[in-house]
Structure 1
């Protein structure tokens, strides 16, 4: 059995029916339990997120402004998964995979909103005003302290191991190097070296520096990529409309073999759509809540709005543009995959300039994701080493300097061994499955706390007569 075949089997097992159904079930349960809140209040969500970009904060404790916090999270989510990941989903699962990405994202808006709300509610508050939280924190406090569940520790360890596996198996530097080499013929190893130097320039300043830089980079990179994609889609509007029809049809009938595309079943479209949706928007993965936990906010649910917005922007907007460009240009059946497929589609739509647009987008998306994920690892380490000040300081210092190295080593390994892009993305699927499953189960157990906080928010914000306010908005109050 080849390595690629083994990874396909392992990924198929991990992303098989149990996890797919768990992702969709938890999202639906939270959506129904909240009264379809993300759909009923979509206007309110956009007004109080997109409409408040640049506003300092709503008050409250924390290190970063709400937008700086969501910029770190968006930097982590709007990454190469939006470009290469979507292309990989279509290349393996067919156009129908896009439909399941949308479904997963729509219910995932509420999943992410719940994760963020819980992370802010259960976060640690330090004397210097800094705040840190995330899944391991709400496992400790929500499961351990409030409910007396002793098994929170092994769950937290397994979650942390799953997240830290991506420290060694990371796709950003590799995908950026591949794209720049494809477009500008610059050696991948040289690109990788420049990439890690640029990463050091940000992460050596710590989480606050990451928040400041990403708050400038994220809006620019999103607008730059969206405008280029929309130009291709609108200039080929009839083909785009046909493409939408193909997406819906293929989601329920599968896709026959055509051109270089080998064909895909409905189950393969579902599997790839859900897996790539989570890898892209991270709803249920448990990563972004760690960034949101640092935000200054007066109510946990208020920061949760940014979580819902994050999924909407990432998948419903950016991923959809990538998918429609690939399908509209007809390149989806070319047999190409990953970043190469998206590059080919943009080149067909805009000529050589299209390749430049995607390459710059991949660089910005990848680099911002790498800097954003630095925050996640640091927050997990802070929780693990809490109370061990000397060891804590030493390990964080070592981590800061080691962080970009594994990504560069993957580039070296890929160049020297000829590692195919498909194998790299299969590795990404494997590393994202374990923490996602654990986090979703914990979120499901702690859902009553979210519903309690949401009722409080509805009472304060919308004056709902049936809603009741709570005395403690934050666990440590």
Structure 2
């Protein structure tokens, strides 16, 4: 089974995926004039100035910060702990270089999909807004450009996203860490996670937004502080660790200790796959949270997407990777969260294990609650929002949400499925919506550049405000037909 899954993952994350992920990100970067680098300071300043605001100036369910917190809660999860460790264990230290590359071009990919999700979102009578890839497929791909096949693409995207509900890595990794640290059974740990999850998701997207806005800053600071302390304690190992990362990004790494060795192709594959899994740039998931934001310009929310990828991949993932490589734990033959636990334990003992476990619990739990918002968005668009069947499916989601993750843990424990196999399954569930979303973005890039041009002129003042720019529709015009698949 593992060989078959590895073959399928190798095909899905092969050259075609690399061209889509890196190629589209590079195109957006060059076409925008390297906007994410030139105006990175502006983006951070804008985000920072809005961190404490409760509401923005537009319509939506959540404030920009709450929407960012939900999206960040979905992105900063077990991928930052177990996913990074898995990338190193399989692809070697060189995989981290390709994770960085994926993030740097992913700044613009995330900004584009977030901005388009806000532009093409739909508003209910009560002012609540919903959007995401299925919406910009509907309104942009089909309604504006008249392109065919939007419905099959939207259905496949929806199935791909919903499959991660059934085959979620979050409950598995959280329960795995709790079991390893405190000596309880993984099934018992998964049961506890499921019960606590009900207290959050039963309140719907507003409660999820409030929960994420409280927990995300704390969980990131808690984990990062511990990682930085370890790096400072072993500062002499920093340059050798960076040498391994850059050196083996372009040349294979031989086996050492329990590490089986890795080819360059594997380093690239794992770096890109785990990079997308971690920061979700191009996945199409985070735009569904950002579309609920109370914001008056799509590009403004897009800047939150840049900041999100920066925090996730450049900060959190890098610290995890450096701790693992600098400690030498990657040579142990371990993988997933167990490898990260080992690395922290080697450096600061039992408290390192506790810190990682708490980090995994917080990261994984906030991801689980954050993704609830994505599943709700898919179901609302897919089944007509106010239809009786849509309401039935939303109730199934609300009251049955923790069950699939719990069932996966029970199954893996019953059959003895290794952690590496479960991560291969996760790679498959990620690949399907990524393909659909990136393909959907390609013909919509001109609309993004139109929105960016408007922002550059009206907000940054680096372009003249022409008649053409003044006529730019910042949001999808009211009264446009809205179809349901």
TM-score norm. by structure 1 comes to 0.98
- What SS does the aligned partner of 1:7 have? helix
> How far apart in 2 are the matches of 1:47 and 1:442?
31
Q: CA–CA distance in 2 between the matches of 1:56 and 1:118?
A: 23
CA contact (8 A) 1:456 1:470 kept: no
Q: Residue 24 of structure 1 is aligned with which of 22, 25, 28? A: 22
Residue 163 of structure 2, aligned match among 146, 162, 165: 165
Cα distance in 2 between the residues matched to 1:470 and 1:261: 59
Shift of 1:51: 4.2
- 1:212 paired residue among 207, 210, 213: 210
Decide whether the 8 Å contact of 1:459 with 1:469 is kept in 2: no
Deviation at 1:386, TM superposition (A): 1.5
2:34 match: 36
Structure 2 residue aligned with 1:143: 141
Q: CA deviation digits over 1:31-56, x for unaligned, max 9?
A: 11111000001111111113431212
Q: Does the CA-based 8 Å contact 1:230-1:321 persist in structure 2?
A: yes
For 2:477, the equivalent position in structure 1 comes to: 476
The answer to whether the 8 Å contact 1:453/1:470 transfers is no
Q: CA RMSD in A?
A: 1.0
Shift of 1:20: 1.1
Q: What does 1:8-407 correspond to in 2, within 5 Å? A: 8-386=6-384, 388-407=386-405
Q: Hey, what's the Cα distance between the residues in 2 that align with 1:200 and 1:339? A: 25
Displacement after TM superposition at 1:387 (Å)? 5.8
* Structure 1: gaps (5+ residues): none
Deviations, residues 117-147 of structure 1 (Å, cap 9, x unaligned): 0000000011101000000000000011101
Task: Give the superposition deviation at 1:392.
Answer: 1.9
Work out the CA distance in 2 between the residues paired with 1:237 and 1:418.
39
The 1:394–1:329 alpha-carbon spacing in structure 2 relative to 1, beyond 3 Å, is same
4+ runs deviating over 3 angstroms: none
Query: In structure 1, what is the Cα distance between the partners aligned to 2:190 and 2:121?
Result: 35
Give CA-to-partner distance per residue, 1:325-352, whole Å, 9 cap, x none: 0001011111110010000000011110
CA distance in 1 between partners of 2:385 and 2:235 (Å) = 59
Distance in 2, matches of 1:475 and 1:86, equals: 38
Shift of 1:388: 4.8
- Between 51-60 and 247-256, report the one with greater CA deviation: 51-60
Q: CA deviation at 1:58?
A: 3.3
SS of 1:285's equivalent? coil
Q: Which moved more, 1:113-122 or 1:393-402?
A: 393-402
**Matches of 2:204 and 2:386, distance apart in 1:** 19
Query: In the alignment, which of 445, 450, 457 is matched to residue 447 of structure 1?
Result: 445
8 Å CA contact 2:61, 2:294 repeated in 1: yes
In 2, are the aligned partners of 1:27 and 1:111 still within 8 Å (CA)? yes
Deviation at 1:470, TM superposition (A): 3.8
Q: TM-score, normalised by structure 2?
A: 0.97
User: How far 1:180 moved relative to its partner?
Assistant: 0.7
Q: Say whether the 8 Å CA contact 1:455–1:469 is kept in structure 2.
A: no
Cα displacement string for residues 152-174 of structure 1 (whole angstroms, at most 9, x for unaligned residues)? 11111111111111111111111
Aligned partners of 2:456 and 2:463 also within 8 Å = no
CA distance in 2, matches of 1:366, 1:303: 24
Of 35-44 and 379-388, deviating more is 379-388
Residue 417 of structure 1, aligned match among 407, 415, 437: 415
